Chains A and B, each alone.
Chain A
Amino acid sequence: MTTTHATKLAALLALTALTAAACGSSEPPSLFSTGKVSVGAKNDQPGTGVVHNYKFSGFDITVARQILKSVGAEPDFGIVPSEDRSAVLTDKKKDLVVATFSITVDRMKELDFVGPYASTYQGLMVRKNDNRIRKPSDLAGKRVCTWPGTTSATTLQGPDGNHIAVYEAPDASSCITDLKTKKVADAVSTDQMILYGFTQENPDLKVVPDITFGSANHYGIAMAKGHRSDCLKLRGALRDYVTSNDWSHDFTTSLPSIPAADPTWETDFKPRVETVDSLSCRDTPRT
């Protein structure tokens, strides 16, 4: 082989190696590289995600701020309706969604989650002076309002919800109006954490303590797939957060109605670190 041939071959090999290295690094730039992260949040859920005077507040908002602060970034919040939570991520309109978004096996196939940062059962909210509904069997024939984009209606259509007249209103505030003002709904059903939040701004409503439906919802911080290293950084930050006193402090600040009504609120709503490890940054739950 001549020297010219050897040089050409070496150059070709170097080019091939560079191309392979470039193709191999498929992960896009870090979501935290600019220091600002666009975060989709709810604006109509007092206690978890609400906007008052153009300012976001609630437990989702506090969690997003605390976790992003740990990785050297800060959130830029924007409103996301429940039914658009997945689409804003897959369409790259938001970097993260922190909006009482339940981790499910189906959603884990499309999105990465960091969580849970809180867990809650689905419950029932009624008018404060309405004592007709105290146990599950009292719901037979009653009109229960839910809204699209959540798993609430599906759960009520399961075995726990036999004989309940479930209907969907356009959004949460429509359900509250139906229950409180129009009185065309006998109850509103969604996650207890959200319901307790509503009672903080609607003192004439109450959560029925002994009625829950289905299994616990695990709320996660959602992101599009393809940002695993960012996801793992957030997981580390969440682990530290839930094992510190900050979690309990922030929870009671945002949702004071829960510790007031539920003496075992930390056991009921605080996630375990093992569950965080099982559900975070994975395509399927680790078992």
Chain B
Amino acid sequence: MTPPSTPRDGGDLHHSPTAHGDHSIAAGTIRNVFIRWAVHPSARWLPLLLACAALVIAGTTWPDGPARQYALWGILAALSLTTAAARVLIRRRRDARVIAALSLVSVLATVGGWLAFRNVVLHGEIDVTGRVASQGTQPLDAATHRTLTLGLDAPALKEPRNALRLTLAIADHDPAGPTCLPDSSATVSLTTSGVAAQQQTVRPGGTADFSLGAQVSTVRINVTLSTARGCRMDIHPTEATLYDR
């Protein structure tokens, strides 16, 4: 194997015998300038500092929501930190091309990670399960006491999203008594002003999806239980997520 050519005393690094024309010369010049900057002692810690700064800012403005939506950001953050750390550890000037490549990958991964993070902040899923207010007494039954209302108020809706995903647990009020789960379901109706009325039926543990359209200030959902005679059931949201369709 032919060893890669190495720069000597910071001279011209672009000596490709196949390079021709103005574009090739310009590209070679840019590469040489970048490599000179990358191997300069003052730039040794810069990619790592940049990656750490992005990580700290992301940590302080963390918007929560499901972990899976941070996968791309996590991969890029890990890549930027790893390559930046590797760049710090390599000190030999004859590894200039490796140093330059590590610096470039680190900076690009930091920028990419930051963009991925901002995308999550602006369009990612927001977990509002703990903010769903429930009105109505439980347990519900098949006769006169069948309905409760779930609501999300302005503070939970401050980040604009155009859809809501709601998962409902429907459980026997007395798990030691006969089970009514096979005969139970709930009709969930969105009754928010300014949004088209929507109705869906969910089985225990099922999920309803509602379109919220433009920004809404409050969300109201009526939940009506359908079950067999004599059954008494508890209904509560196990997951409520705002997201962009």
Contacts and interface: CB of A to CB of B under 8 A. Distances in A.
Contact of A215 (B171, B205, B231): B231
B178 A154 contact: no
Given A105-B172, A158-B174, A287-B205, A214 B179 contact: no
A108 B177 CA distance: 12
B182 A104 contact: no
Contact of B175 (A105, A155, A275): A105
A285 B204 CA distance: 10
A222 B92 CA distance: 74
Nearest to A102: B178
Interface string B63-88: 00000000000000000000000000
Interface in B161-214: 170-172, 174-184, 203-206
B17 interface: no
B101 to A, nearest CB: 37
B11 interface: no
B21 interface: no
Contacts of B205: 287
A158 B173 CA distance: 11
Interface in A112-169: 121, 151, 154-155, 158-160
A106 interface: yes
Contacts of A102: 178
A195 to B, nearest CB: 16
A217 B182 contact: no
A78 to B, nearest CB: 26
A215 B229 contact: yes
A102 B181 CA distance: 14
Contact of A285 (B174, B181, B229): B181
Contact of A154 (B176, B228, B230, B231): B176
B178 A217 contact: yes
A159 to B, nearest CB: 8
A218 interface: yes
B181 A104 contact: no
B146 interface: no
A215 B177 contact: yes
Given A151-B176, A287-B203, A287-B206, A215 B181 contact: no
B229 to A, nearest CB: 7
Contacts of B178: 102-104, 151, 214-218
B182 A278 contact: yes
B175 A158 contact: no
Nearest to A278: B182
A279 B174 CA distance: 17
B97 interface: no
Interface string A194-226: 000000000000000000111111100000000
B206 A215 contact: no
A203 B154 CA distance: 67
B232 interface: yes
A274 interface: yes
A216 B203 CA distance: 19
Contacts of B204: 285, 287
A102 B172 CA distance: 14
Interface in A236-273: none
Contacts of B179: 103-105, 108, 218, 279, 285
Interface string B105-128: 000000000000000000000000
Contacts of B176: 104, 106, 151, 154
A214 B229 CA distance: 8
A211 B172 CA distance: 22
A212 B230 contact: yes
Contacts of A121: 229-230
Given A105-B172, A105-B175, A159-B232, 6 more contacts: A105-B171, A155-B177, A215-B180, A275-B182, A275-B183, A287-B205
Interface of B: 170-172, 174-184, 203-206, 228-232
Interface of A: 102-106, 108, 121, 151, 154-155, 158-160, 212-218, 274-275, 278-279, 285-287
6 contacts: A121-B230, A217-B178, A218-B178, A278-B181, A285-B182, A286-B182
Closest 3 interchain pairs by CB? A287-B204, A278-B182, A215-B230
